[in-house]
Structure 1
Amino acid sequence: MGLTYQRPFSVPFYESDRFKNMKISNILAFALQVSGEQSVELNRSDVWLNDHYKLFWAVTEYELEINRLPRFMEDITIETEATSYNKFFCYRDFRFIAENGELLLTIHASWVLMGLESRKVERVHDDIVAPYAADKSSKIQRSHKFKKELLNPEVTSYPVRFSDLDMNGHVNNAKYYDWAADMIDYDFRASHQPKKVYIKYNHEVRYGETVEALFEMDMDGLTSHHKLNGNATEIEIEWTKNNDE
């Protein structure tokens, strides 16, 4: 296991949803912020990576395990560590922890390095990841198996706007969750919370494209399946009823 980095955080109004929970998209966005802070501390910032290798980090998969979501004005600690890497993938965990030590949620993330010009996956150089003290392994972690085909999906289109882009020029990875979850009706969202979220990014989406989002709910009514632009991004959300239900 690698070096651990922690930082305190208080959930602000603008990152909270209608029900005073921290939004999943903001959780993902802030996780990236915290991993970036550790990289700066270890002299492996995005600027360093660009200057030395003309590369940038891209997330390929997320798995979120949620016990409960952080609440508006709640003081929490966000902890992260790079856990392992191989010649093409790097793995990092995040933990959101309440003041009393309760583990609120865990994020398992898979990353690759991409060329700024080529937009292709590049090999991981030991020099880039050495300061994180993560374990080197030949194993590639198994991906979540998504539903191959949605038989009777609802369809919504989203234009990619300038505000959807990150500084690498493609859609910010946190945005996809909002596009997917916004297809689920208000009453369901009011009475349910996500307990597990799987996201896989297969192809980047860039400015000027239109995203076609497909959504289908399982027969059990508690698992939603989402495909954006074919299989460019796949999302699966397991839902549970709120505790007050």
Structure 2
Amino acid sequence: MNLPEDFQFSREFEVGSFQVHPNGRISLTSLADLLQEIAWRHADSGDFGRNLLDTQQMWVLSRLEISVFEFAKWGDKIRLFTGGRGAEKLFAFREFMVWDQDQKVLARAMSSWLLLNSETKRIQRPEQVLPAKLFDPTKKPDWQPEKLRITGEWKGKEEIQVRHSDLDLYNHVNNTSYIRWVENFLADLGIFPTQLSINYLAESLAGEIVELSFYDAENEKFLEGTVGSKSVFIAKVD
């Protein structure tokens, strides 16, 4: 099929029973899981995915913004699109779009990524490794995930111990695990966001205690995760 809006890769998924809330609608966490999955599939199809591990390089998600216009239901078939959206300085950008079966846009997302040497953790310039047609350093998207700064009044906290199921291939907390923590914390307050922004600031590891701090700024809510004095992520929901 011809892909819309200059997207470069697409796959269809069916929303499973394990991906939905009690209301039968897909969770933000499960949607983020699918975004991560299609990003890897696209990267692997172009030899800039898991094969980078052979040269001691790794992708690190730095920032992500998701806007959901309608949550898909259990059993719905949805189509995800993704594509590179240029690069600026050390960031490579990737955009996502989600369609229902009638080609109605259900969600959009934009992400910024860093390419690291897996041994030294030094950041690599993306144009030195990545296909220029996907991550052209002379192009950058108008929509870029923002750098978050916490505002509002502190309202409470929760401690979470990192468990084995929270970890990714690198034995760090998976980026979608942070979203699950945010989604669960807010659900306990009766808050079910349709927009999420998150900045990933540092790694957290198995056994560590992550303290979630909640801040209320009226129309915006913030959650910060810290390990000791180290901030590992900041999330904002509208």
Normalising TM by the smaller chain, what interval?
0.7 to 0.9
**Cα separation, 2, equivalents of 1:178 and 1:223:** 18
Q: Find out whether 1:104 has 2:106 as its counterpart.
A: yes
Distance change in 2, residues 1:208/1:132 (3 Å): farther
SS at match of 2:193: strand
The structure 1 residue matched to 2:42, chosen from 23, 38, 55, is 38
**Alpha-carbon distance, 1:3 to partner:** 5.5
Matched residue, 2:208: 209
Q: Find out whether 1:136 has 2:137 as its counterpart.
A: yes
**Alpha-carbon distance, 1:187 to partner:** 6.8
Counting only pairs closer than 5 Å after superposition, residues 19-58 of structure 1 correspond to structure 2 as 19-46=23-50, 48-51=51-54, 53-58=55-60
**Alpha-carbon distance, 1:149 to partner:** 5.0
Contact 1:69 1:104 in 2 (8 A): yes
TM value normalised by structure 2: 0.87
Q: Find out whether 1:218 has 2:217 as its counterpart.
A: yes
TM value normalised by structure 1: 0.85
Q: How many residues align?
A: 230
SS at match of 1:69: coil
SS at match of 2:234: strand
- Unaligned stretches of 5+ in structure 2? none
Contact 1:3 1:132 in 2 (8 A): no
The two structures, once aligned, show a CA RMSD in angstroms of 2.3
**Cα separation, 2, equivalents of 1:101 and 1:29:** 21
**Alpha-carbon distance, 1:163 to partner:** 1.2
SS at match of 1:183: helix
**Cα separation, 2, equivalents of 1:41 and 1:186:** 40
Distance change in 2, residues 1:142/1:83 (3 Å): closer
Contact 1:3 1:133 in 2 (8 A): no
**Alpha-carbon distance, 1:158 to partner:** 0.3
- Unaligned stretches of 5+ in structure 1? 239-245
**Cα separation, 1, equivalents of 2:178 and 2:80:** 22
**Alpha-carbon distance, 1:236 to partner:** 0.5
